[in-house]
Structure 1
């Protein structure tokens, strides 16, 4: 999620995505920003984002974050398939 979008801010967009139902709640949202001001990370995480990366974004940092969050999602989906109750 780019933290400087022209129409809707990052916090509002994240809350809207999270309100779209069960599947939308599982989508990993990672904040990408050039501004790493005090409190920005906490605001993003509190709005429902899963991670916060400040620019410049290194490939290894982005890869690690994506892998971590997608792995959680895969484990969660596997657990649901084993116990569909």
Structure 2
């Protein structure tokens, strides 16, 4: 397993100690590895097009709106429902 050295702020270091002391993790190594893994998984796998993962898809919220029909614009064509 590769080893990595990092410098942490005093607050981050104290937070890791707190999590270990309250029993969330067995030891500091497990805590650091798990927290890094969770943080990295939030970004998901790297895309081939190298676009940042934290930008929302521009059409994400517009798709359902584009599929909706304005009832006022309904033109009473035969829709097969028979009313």
Q: Settle same-fold status: TM greater than 0.5.
A: no
Q: Which has the higher strand share?
A: 1
Q: Which has the higher contact order (CA 8 A, sep 6+)?
A: 1
TM-score normalised by L of structure 2: 0.30
TM-score normalised by L of structure 1: 0.30
